[in-house]
Structure 1
């Protein structure tokens, strides 16, 4: 994580609160983006890693001879892609466009790596839900175009539920009772694996309207140890203490084997868990189904865990054309169909959510058109969630603590306290004001 001046840090915090980001905090506005004056096509570079992006670029280039996009595939953002982007931005060699996950967007803003494209998206504001725009902008300023969202749902072994006579839980209280019934049916089985990935866990906090970050004036507020967050943590702590959850590491082959073999009966996860389960638990094909995420009491709210944007980098010489492509990629029917097929995304745009590819039955899930569930759930994502500018620190602390709950006697409460301290310390060390 790069260190930044107090002035830039304060400007970012103030901008997040009142929509008045200082120039130093967000990158200067680029050139007007007029077409090339020499008659040659405008050339736009684009760095990313998601499946299908290259095909969408090909579709664009075939139908837009005056604006040509050159796509370069990088390592996944967390595996080095973001570091390469930020290093290039610092050196003035960054591409026009970059794939940036919503959770990392504030870090790019804090690094001064992006530029404001508000004039070029003003007519497209109604094409996406307001909460989605909140992931790529500050106040009235916008620095990228949303591509997808990741509302959460309940993936479950329909065959095992039906055989045991267990109803699909609609609330978290019912989920706890179902967890007890699973153990009563098979002492070696569990309803779900303990959530230990920090970004998956964030989705549960998001649903519980338990924010981690906020702003007050020119200062950041950090609330990982708030009462709302303690409530969410205590729920999972209780299930763990009562031995109702399995404790495999996140994204581990042993967990995938347990899904396929019937030792773990469900996963509450984001839409992209569909491909994760399909690709890693082939032996249980046809036995899975999808239902809405369990609710907290009468709150009809859903969490979100993932999603990314096409961000416009600060030195892009043609921001207007770059934004035109980004909007097209997220809304054009052929492009969106390609991204659904290639990457199993849930489109962020309203037009994308109407795409017929989402209505297709999915063989792995017994022919259920599972993406229609997530289409409906997308409208119920809780609003108001905000990511912070030091998520790499926050996530590292959370991941370490969550990973030690099963083996080292750690707790969710202690993990949240440690992440609170690590996050506040990181913000202060980088010159941010914390309240």
Structure 2
């Protein structure tokens, strides 16, 4: 993972409340051109036209761009790939600091958005009526874009978690699909005993997976109140995670393979990596990157930390936000709402995106979609149910971008040495506490 500058937040005015939580009200209008809101008349802005620069790496936005320009011919949308996640965030911060070249719209992942909201680098979209869209989105993504009383982006997609498993491998070794994480460990033992070259999953330390599993386990490691931050990886939820994942590490039941590497794709293809707990956006990556295993894989609900529970979590996902220094805010918001709440959502779903919008998640057409890669399984039903079961009380640090960048230097050691996972998390906590203090936060632990 690329290292992030330690000066990312320095000197940017760390003020604003970070009290995250879902609210409920309103609905959505598919045509932002019919709205008169806040600082200007969107309909008049669309009629007048202009240019909207969008920094985003999400490929499904290209067709949305074309459709939007066809509907509003006087608007020129320019989508620029300024890099993926951390690379773009660095470029965006540089542009903001220089007050030059700032885009009108920026793709910002949920874990990173609060940082930009805290520093007032992105615009509160409430003035455009975004606060009325609460019921339009599933709880996890909406919670992520809501910061205090402000809405600092619209959810573009979501990543409700599921367990992808190789049915061919499971059937060969007579392994039942695990419904709890204890059963998952047992499945790993049975598989590895039957075939020492096969592993239940791969993991060399992944910040996103770790925080997602903590989220599902009911852990609340991060407490945020404005510039007051608490970090503690020792609560009961965290213990559930560390106890279980430590067994997988100690018994060498997880393949020491880095995610998204050539070896990782190979393992998914040849059955030596038998499961993948990850977000619902993964199917397109299976279809493009693991073509030889088509028909072997299926999706199942995420195993539970407590037998009989029914809880999920989010893993990944992005918003579209309006940088405060961007121009043409009415046009920018019109594009964002079209892409993330209007007709653009269906366009993106057709191109493989996983929606955050409840009407699409709940639609019969969406849930009845058959996935040839998964043997015709209607996997969206599982994903949609997962989205509805995500607790809306999770919080990220307002400098999670930095925290994630040092994950492999701290927790990652637990996968390659005798360092216990609890010790790795403590090192991650200490590093995050130290950095927060350097940035002007009051940090408790």
Shared fold (TM-score greater than 0.5)?
yes
Specify the SS of the correspondent of 1:153. Answer: strand
| Equivalent of 1:320 in 330, 340, 355 | 330
Give the aligned partner of residue 426 of structure 1: 435
Specify the SS of the correspondent of 2:319. Answer: strand
Structure 2 portions without partners, runs of 5+ = 23-36
Cα separation, partners in 2 of 1:232 and 1:249, compared to 1, 3 Å:
same
**Quick check: 1:8 aligned with 2:8?**
no
| Equivalent of 1:47 in 43, 55, 67 | 55
Instruction: Indicate if the aligned counterparts of 1:90 and 1:113 stay in contact, CA closer than 8 A.
Output: no
**Quick check: 1:207 aligned with 2:216?**
yes
Cα separation, partners in 2 of 1:200 and 1:376, compared to 1, 3 Å:
same
Instruction: Indicate if the aligned counterparts of 2:56 and 2:106 stay in contact, CA closer than 8 A.
Output: yes
What is the 5 A alignment of 1:276-355?
276-297=285-306, 298-333=308-343, 335-342=344-351, 344-354=352-362
Instruction: Indicate if the aligned counterparts of 2:140 and 2:314 stay in contact, CA closer than 8 A.
Output: no
Cα separation, partners in 2 of 1:275 and 1:410, compared to 1, 3 Å:
farther
**Quick check: 1:59 aligned with 2:86?**
no
Instruction: Indicate if the aligned counterparts of 1:129 and 1:350 stay in contact, CA closer than 8 A.
Output: yes
Task: Report the Cα offset of residue 424 of structure 1.
Answer: 0.6
Give the aligned partner of residue 270 of structure 1: 279
Task: Report the Cα offset of residue 199 of structure 1.
Answer: 1.0
Task: Report the Cα offset of residue 264 of structure 1.
Answer: 1.7
| In 2, Cα distance between equivalents of 1:217 and 1:51 | 34
- The C-alpha deviation readout for 1:287-340, integer Å capped at 9, x for no partner, is 10110000111331102110100101102343333223212211334x223322
- The C-alpha deviation readout for 1:220-271, integer Å capped at 9, x for no partner, is 1112343432331221011221232222122222222122112121111111
What is the 5 A alignment of 1:166-245?
166-194=175-203, 196-216=205-225, 218-245=227-254
**Quick check: 1:82 aligned with 2:85?**
no
Task: Report the Cα offset of residue 360 of structure 1.
Answer: 2.3
Give 1 or 2: higher helix fraction.
1
| In 2, Cα distance between equivalents of 1:228 and 1:350 | 28
Specify the SS of the correspondent of 2:79. Answer: strand
| In 1, Cα distance between equivalents of 2:110 and 2:411 | 22
Number of aligned residue pairs: give it: 420
Task: Report the Cα offset of residue 15 of structure 1.
Answer: 4.2
Give the aligned partner of residue 114 of structure 2: 106
| In 2, Cα distance between equivalents of 1:431 and 1:76 | 28
Instruction: Indicate if the aligned counterparts of 2:208 and 2:315 stay in contact, CA closer than 8 A.
Output: yes
| Equivalent of 1:33 in 32, 40, 52 | 40
Cα separation, partners in 2 of 1:34 and 1:259, compared to 1, 3 Å:
same
Cα separation, partners in 2 of 1:293 and 1:319, compared to 1, 3 Å:
same
| In 2, Cα distance between equivalents of 1:39 and 1:367 | 45
Specify the SS of the correspondent of 1:387. Answer: coil
| In 1, Cα distance between equivalents of 2:254 and 2:18 | 42
Deviates more, 1:402-411 or 1:359-368: 402-411
| In 1, Cα distance between equivalents of 2:406 and 2:92 | 24
Instruction: Indicate if the aligned counterparts of 1:34 and 1:318 stay in contact, CA closer than 8 A.
Output: no
Instruction: Indicate if the aligned counterparts of 1:97 and 1:311 stay in contact, CA closer than 8 A.
Output: yes
Cα separation, partners in 2 of 1:38 and 1:252, compared to 1, 3 Å:
closer
Give the aligned partner of residue 367 of structure 1: 376
Structure 1 portions without partners, runs of 5+ = 20-29
| In 1, Cα distance between equivalents of 2:47 and 2:312 | 50
Instruction: Indicate if the aligned counterparts of 1:152 and 1:269 stay in contact, CA closer than 8 A.
Output: yes
Deviates more, 1:314-323 or 1:162-171: 314-323
Instruction: Indicate if the aligned counterparts of 2:107 and 2:320 stay in contact, CA closer than 8 A.
Output: yes
The TM-score with structure 2 as length reference comes to 0.87
- The C-alpha deviation readout for 1:157-193, integer Å capped at 9, x for no partner, is 1112122221111111211221122123223212122
Deviates more, 1:203-212 or 1:277-286: 277-286
Specify the SS of the correspondent of 1:346. Answer: coil
